[in-house]
Structure 1
Amino acid sequence: MNRRDAVLALLALGAAPVGAGAQPAKAMRRVGVLMNRPASDGNAQASFAAFRQGLEKLGWVDGRDVRIDHRWGTADAKTLRLSAAELVKLQPEVILASATDGLAALREETRTIPTVFVSVSDPVGQGLVASLARPGNNMTGFTAFEFSMGGKWMQLLKEVAPRLTRVAVLFNPVTAPYYASFLTSIEAAGRSLAVQTVSVPVRDPAEIESALGAALGNASQGGLIALSDAFTANHRAKIIALVDQRHLPAIYAFRFFPEDGGLMSYGIDRVDLYRRAASYVDRILRGENPGNLPVQQPTKFEFIVNVRTAKAMGLSIPRGVMLRADHVIE
């Protein structure tokens, strides 16, 4: 090659576009997450972290392969709806929705964006999906509880407090529209155990104290079941304080209640559900239709007992109950 040809070859190489021959950059996918509890809630943070970790194990690293836009909820339904609207405007390819109230807020904004819900009770009965086997629309997900769980709560309360004669069942009918089904199983168990069940619907945290007082009066042998409900979860500090002050044995649906000072809980492992939900988001991002993905039911349950709270209330937890506990808070 003479000098002239060498110069022309170098000029040709210089004219080639930067990165020629390299693979085009992969477009980053977009996922939305609507949590129904505030960012200050430790369990909600753990649930969100479990979801992200689940995605990472499937090859979706936030900021590298996927962008995760998330919004935190509050006890205010209007704020939750605004958060849902913000997420929908971002046009994610799939949205993870937390619990019944989060999903309800999201459904007000979209019926087309693929949605994976977590911890929703009775999605068929609420008209959210056609069936568990084939949801048939833009959503699928992971349920929270079987309604027979209500009988288990009553049974555990009676074991811990054998002299129990009356139990108040606390819930918000707006955020727990499935409450009647839980009440059916709780009342049936109560009749078999000679325990009267009193329904306590509340819609505002200011009503909790007076409603419990009216339901239980001065009954020294009263107790409480707080239903699986975003309202009771968001206002658990107030509920726990009132119940402990009255020395009422109480059982809750989630472990964060006894972790925050409540007596005991029996229910699903919510963090595990969020971790499992990542698999459905992965499948939708890879092209599957949510309407063809069967709704999954919980497989992991946990029983938590707070012995410190029991001692403060003058309760002695039977050995048989303690042996069944998955975790004991000393």
Structure 2
Amino acid sequence: MPPRPSKTISTTRRWLCGALAFLALGMTAVLPLHAQVPRPLRVAWASIERANPASPYLEAFRSGMRELGYTEGKDLVIDPWWGEGTEARLAQQIDAMVRSQPDVIVAQGGLALHPLMVAQVKIPIVFGVSADPIEAKIAESFARPGGNATGMTFFALELVGKRMQIMKEALPTMKRVALLADPQHPGQHKELAAAQAAADNLGLQVSYFPVHSEAELESALADIAHARFDAILAFSDGFTQSFAGRIAEFSLQQRIPAVDGWSPFARQGNLMIYGPVLEECYRRLAVYVDKIRKGARPGDLPIELPTKVELVINLKTASRIGVTIPQALLLRADELIK
């Protein structure tokens, strides 16, 4: 009679079968976990700038995302879309941008936001703009924008008077100021009223030069030179920034100082600026993107105003146009361009 299998062998077989069954069940439990790993957050960065991966505003946004714990290439993808200097070129790319299926679009400036609004893009949009968002019909209110767009506006009327006051400190003999502004910029009439009120308080005379094209700008500059104004205050918007270099050239030729609210204006050769730190604003946009990623609706997120401002003085320009900046003002400056 053949020997009967031992109890040890039988027990071992049962144990192996059980172990294999457990492993099989474990694998079926593990695989779905891998399949459920969320895809990276995809952000489309829309700008009318020429392609510039080192853009300080894009880098500020990237920094904000890093501070929130995101890592590009791991759980974050940022796709820049550049307008190469024109709104029209950016508008041509909107269909392709939408087909790339971003979770959020970040619009750098009103000139980038406008074609997205015209195209009625439904994807959540986070913006940084200089316009009054209510007058621009971007939002229903600051507290509850409604729709699919929210973000920050640099439209801070309280800075207009302070800017003019600093101009008076820098230029004590200043009496007559030329105001350069784009009349089509939403909220521009409010800035004009704020500038007029500040001028009245400081005993200054202001004249308004509306400019919306290069030809209108050249005509205004000719009139300013002919009338020998003491200074130029350019309202901060995409138009005046795009011609900052031309205004600086005029300022040096005519020895008429020019002031604005954004730092690139001073860095391109104009006397000084006082206004929001734009890099901080674009860093702050990362918070909006993160909230939307976590389920918030753009229309429920309040539009914010800048909380950090800067004074930038171009000492090289001051020297070339014969302006001596008071020491007290130099000590308050956040940046001195030498």
TM-score range, shorter chain: 0.7 to 0.9
Which of residues 279, 283, 290 is equivalent to 2:291? Answer: 283
User: What is the alpha-carbon distance in structure 2 between the residues aligned to residue 68 and residue 41 of structure 1?
Assistant: 11
Aligned alpha-carbon RMSD (Å): 2.6
Contact 1:36 1:230 survives alignment (8 Å): no
Pairing 1:65–2:75 present: yes
Check conservation: 1:139, 1:290, Cα contact below 8 A: yes
> Which runs of structure 2 are paired with 1:285-300 in the superposition (5 Å)?
285-300=293-308
Equivalent position to 1:198, from 192, 200, 207: 207
Structure 1 gap segments, 5+ residues each? none
Change (3 A) 1:206 1:84: farther
Letter in 1 for 2:230: G
State the identity as a percent: 34
Match of 2:195 among 182, 186, 200: 186
Partner of 2:156: 146
What are the superposed Cα offsets for residues 163-207 of structure 1, whole Å, 9 maximum, x if unpaired? Answer: 223222223334x23211111111112223332222222222344
Q: Distance in 1 between matches of 2:226 and 2:297?
A: 52
The normalised TM-score by structure 2 is: 0.85
- Equivalences for 1:130-145 in 2 at 5 Å? 130-145=140-155
Deviation string 1:108-150 (CA, Å, 9 cap, x unpaired) is 1225211111133321232221211111221111110312322
SS of the equivalent of 2:284 reads: helix
Residue 24 (structure 2) pairs with residue 52 (structure 1): no
Paired residues for 1:1-330 under 5 Å: 23-24=34-35, 25-40=37-52, 45-174=55-184, 176-219=185-228, 221-330=229-338
1:65 partner letter: D
CA deviation string 1:51-101 (max 9, x = no partner): 112112323322221222211234433223224443233232211112222
Q: Supply the distance in 2 between the matched residues of 1:49 and 1:168 (Cα, whole angstroms).
A: 35
Greater shift in the superposed pair: 178-187 or 25-34: 25-34
Which of structure 1's runs of 4+ aligned residues deviate more than 4 A? 19-22
Give the paired residue count: 317
Asked if structure 2 preserves the Cα contact closer than 8 Å seen for 1:254 and 1:265, the reply is yes
2-structure distance, mates of 1:292, 1:324: 38
Contact 1:138 1:291 in 2 (8 A): yes
Larger Rg: 2
User: Which is further off, 242-251 or 77-86?
Assistant: 77-86
Q: 1:152 to 1:21 in 2, by over 3 A?
A: closer
Give the match for residue 3 of structure 2: none
Confirm or deny: 8 A CA contact 1:198 1:215 kept in the other structure.
Answer: no
- Structure 1 stretch displaced more, 63-72 or 207-216: 207-216
Structure 1 pair 93/139, CA: closer, same or farther in 2 (3 Å)?
same
CA distance in 2, matches of 1:92, 1:22: 24
Say which structure is richer in helix: 2
Structure 2 CA distance for aligned equivalents of residues 274 and 21 of structure 1:
38
Q: Contact conserved, 1:94 with 1:116, CA < 8 A, in 2?
A: yes
- Give the 3-state SS of the residue equivalent to 2:34 in structure 1: coil
Letter in 2 for 1:300: K
CA distance in 1, matches of 2:305, 2:73: 31
- The letter of the residue matching 2:34 is Q
Distance (whole Å) between structure 1 residues aligned to residue 167 and residue 256 of structure 2: 10
